[in-house]
Chain A
Amino acid sequence: MSHARGGPLVVARSLVEGLTRSLVLVALTGFAPAVCVAAGAGLSAVVDTAAGAAGCLLGVLVAVLVLVARPVSAATRFLVARWTGGELPAAYQPLVPVTRMATGYWWNGYDYQRLRWFSLCQRWILRRTRDPAAWRDVLWLLVAPVTVGVASAIPPALIAVGVAGLAPHPVTSVVAVGVGTALLPRSWRSLGPVARRVLGPSTVELLSTRVASLVRGRADLTRAQDAELHRIERDLHDGAQARLVAIGLSLSAAERLVDTDPAGTRALLRQARATSLAALRDLRELVHGIVPPVLLERGLVDAVRALAVDAPVRTVVRSTLGRRLDTPVESALYFATAELVANAVKHSGATVVDIGIDRTGTGVAVTVTDDGRGGADRSRGSGLTGVESRLAAFDGTLRVDSPPGGPTTATAEVPCASS
């Protein structure tokens, strides 16, 4: 086969790649120590006393740590993302712009200061001392040379020693070149795990991000619930309640006319009956908006089937879902599906909509595919945002794949226990 393992071209490529990457890492991790060593050498030549030289060296060290840490870690993140394919996002605290408050003081995200420049300086310092991510950058600067730096330096060094004939014996040279070449494609790979361990977010940070998103989700949910209650109250007040009042009025008028004006009474009774029908219709629509009865009676799959039957375009429902899910999950998935189908019908010009309801490894997914024109943009329609926040309450997600020209595939997935 043409792509046989260990073909000479493949080996050569991985060696060249290993060499360039090792050298890049050596340069990246060795930069800060090199600056310090150079500064130390220069200072010891210029400054006479040992104490003075040590003081100056300490100053250089601190300056390097402060100034170089962030760019080096940014470069590291870039390389990790590029070479290992896994993202290693920066998790700095957000930079708060220095703003003048109504009191005349300047706020920089940490403290109030009377003077703007002082506030700016304070922010500069605190961003580097209060932020755990900044401290991780410093730690990386210290750790990287002795871990990744050394690991990447060894193979090129061995090869160099062997090739230059510095080894005491020809056999040793051959062995050195051999070992160096063998290590070349592997040693730089220490970058991924080490960088992730040092620069990656800590458990505490992961948890606080999670807590923050839960708090946000709960706030969204509470707001949505409140809005829903208000809508129900308004609908009842303006709809069924008002109609019942009208029925009562018609009936009391009819009661008064019953002896004197049978024809008028009949008209009033007819009116009362018509109004009661209208009240029923109002209530039915309201109930349907809260939770469609068929969802309660039959569960998600049949409710989606009923939705499909009512859809104005040909809609096919396939499902491998065996049993009922928790009602809130069913509800969230149902309304998500309804919104997605409505979008497909309204915006895409689709002629066929295909709905799949399936169990996935971790939960349940509803996939809505249409043959419309595609190009759906979730930032434009607020409908999709609503679906997303509704799903988020259950840690659910919405994925929309809609290239221009179609087809559009939207998947709403909610994790839930699988047995």
Chain B
Amino acid sequence: MRVVVAEDLYLLRDGLVRLLEAYGHDVVAAVGDRDATVRALEEHRPDVAVIDVRMPPTHTDDGLRAALEARRARPDLCVLVLSQHIEQLYARELLADGRGGVGYLLKDRVFEAEQFIEAVERVGRGGTSLDPAVVSKILGAGATSPLDALTDREREVVALMAEGLSNQAIAQRLFLSEGSISKHTTSIFTKLGITPDDNSNRRVLAVLTFLGATGAA
């Protein structure tokens, strides 16, 4: 895959480039601030961009904004956003268009090289990858939500779906057959009122409902 890496800390940028190249990906640009990121995304049109939330010039959420803007301009762009901290708010903003091809992970996940690369590839193929920290926070919140209609098993499934796992991977994780997982997912889509639609990814919509579970406006 052709990858753009945007990260302002040199050590981390360098590490990411090495890691991605070690797994056979082609890093077409490695940049360190917002403007360079925007330029690199336009110029190289990568399969996937790995972008840090906080970057120069303002050192606030420049990276996230650049990612959101780039996706608005080019809907098929896939981005994996990395951060030192995880906010449900940001996850929801990233997934809001319901199209998939987005990921949002803690920087710590880089330590698990294989899983990280898997996440990059999944996002590059148009899937999603949400940090388990976001997922567990939502499950721990215990507020009233559309998720109440789901059975415990279905909640487990939707949580893994949020992390970005495929039915097959979910089946492996829960020691169930792929067939029963697909039954669960159909039931989840029905309960959450998600109808088949060509333009949006049903799995992403389910994850969005999941993110909205705490009901905050």
Q: How far is the CA of A356 from the CA of B137 in the complex (A)?
A: 24
Q: How large is the interface on B (under 10, 10 to 19, 20 to 34, 35 or more residues)?
A: 20 to 34
Q: Is the CB of B108 within 8 A of A308?
A: no
Spot the interface stretch: A115-123, A181-189, A213-221, A298-306: A298-306
Q: Is the CB of A297 within 8 A of B88?
A: no
Instruction: Mark B123-144 against chain A: 1 for CB-CB distance below 8 A, else 0.
Output: 0000000000000010001111
Which residues in chain B, 36-86, are within 8 Å of chain A measured between CB atoms? 53-54, 60-61, 64, 84-85
Q: How far is the CA of A296 from the CA of B83 in the complex (A)?
A: 14
Inter-chain CB contacts under 8 Å: number: 72
Q: Is the CB of A311 within 8 A of B216?
A: yes
Q: Is the CB of B53 within 8 A of A314?
A: no
Q: Is the CB of A305 within 8 A of B216?
A: yes
Q: How far is the CA of A297 from the CA of B108 in the complex (A)?
A: 20
Say yes or no for A207: interface residue by CB 8 A criterion. Answer: no
Q: Is the CB of B143 within 8 A of A294?
A: no
Say yes or no for B35: interface residue by CB 8 A criterion. Answer: no
Q: Is the CB of B108 within 8 A of A314?
A: no
Name the A residues within 8 Å of B23 (CB-CB): none
Q: Is the CB of B143 within 8 A of A287?
A: no
Say yes or no for A315: interface residue by CB 8 A criterion. Answer: yes
Which residues in chain A, 306-343, are within 8 Å of chain B measured between CB atoms? 306, 308-318
Q: Is the CB of B88 within 8 A of A306?
A: yes
Q: How far is the CA of A280 from the CA of B107 in the complex (A)?
A: 10
Say yes or no for B22: interface residue by CB 8 A criterion. Answer: no
Given A288-B85, A297-B54, A305-B216, A277 contacting B143 (CB threshold 8 A)? no
Which of B53, B84, B92, B108 is most buried by chain A, counting CB atoms within 10 A of its CB? Answer: B108
CB distance from B48 to the nearest CB of A (A): 23
Which of chain B's residues has its CB closest to A299's CB?
A: B60
Say yes or no for A363: interface residue by CB 8 A criterion. Answer: no
Q: Is the CB of A293 within 8 A of B84?
A: yes
Given A293-B85, A305-B216, A313 contacting B60 (CB threshold 8 A)? no
Q: Is the CB of B60 within 8 A of A317?
A: no
Q: Is the CB of A284 within 8 A of B217?
A: no
Say yes or no for B89: interface residue by CB 8 A criterion. Answer: yes
CB distance from A311 to the nearest CB of B (A): 7
Say yes or no for A276: interface residue by CB 8 A criterion. Answer: yes
Q: Which secondary structure dominates where chain A touches chain B? A: helix
Q: Is the CB of B216 within 8 A of A297?
A: no
Q: How far is the CA of A310 from the CA of B215 in the complex (A)?
A: 10
Q: Is the CB of A297 within 8 A of B89?
A: no
Name the B residues within 8 Å of A310 (CB-CB): 88, 137, 141, 214
Name the B residues within 8 Å of A313 (CB-CB): 143
Name the A residues within 8 Å of B175 (CB-CB): none
Say yes or no for A230: interface residue by CB 8 A criterion. Answer: no
Q: Is the CB of B108 within 8 A of A280?
A: yes
CB distance from B31 to the nearest CB of A (A): 19
Which of chain B's residues has its CB closest to A354's CB?
A: B217
Given A276-B111, A277-B108, A297-B54, A309 contacting B88 (CB threshold 8 A)? yes
- Among A287, A298, A314, point to the contact of B214 (Cβ < 8 A): A314
CB distance from B51 to the nearest CB of A (A): 14
Say yes or no for A273: interface residue by CB 8 A criterion. Answer: yes
Name the B residues within 8 Å of A293 (CB-CB): 54, 84-85, 87
Name the A residues within 8 Å of B141 (CB-CB): 310-312
Which of chain A's residues has its CB closest to B53's CB?
A: A297
What 8 A-B pairs are tightest by C-beta distance, nearest first?
A308-B216, A297-B61, A297-B60, A309-B88, A314-B215, A306-B89, A309-B216, A293-B85
13 A-B residue pairs with CB within 8 Å: A276-B111, A293-B54, A293-B84, A297-B61, A305-B89, A305-B217, A309-B88, A312-B142, A313-B143, A314-B215, A316-B217, A317-B217, A318-B217
- Identify 20 new A-B residue pairs, CB closer than 8 A, beyond the known A308-B217, A310-B141: A277-B108, A277-B111, A280-B108, A281-B108, A294-B89, A294-B90, A297-B53, A297-B54, A297-B60, A306-B88, A306-B89, A308-B214, A309-B87, A309-B216, A310-B137, A310-B214, A312-B214, A313-B143, A314-B214, A314-B215
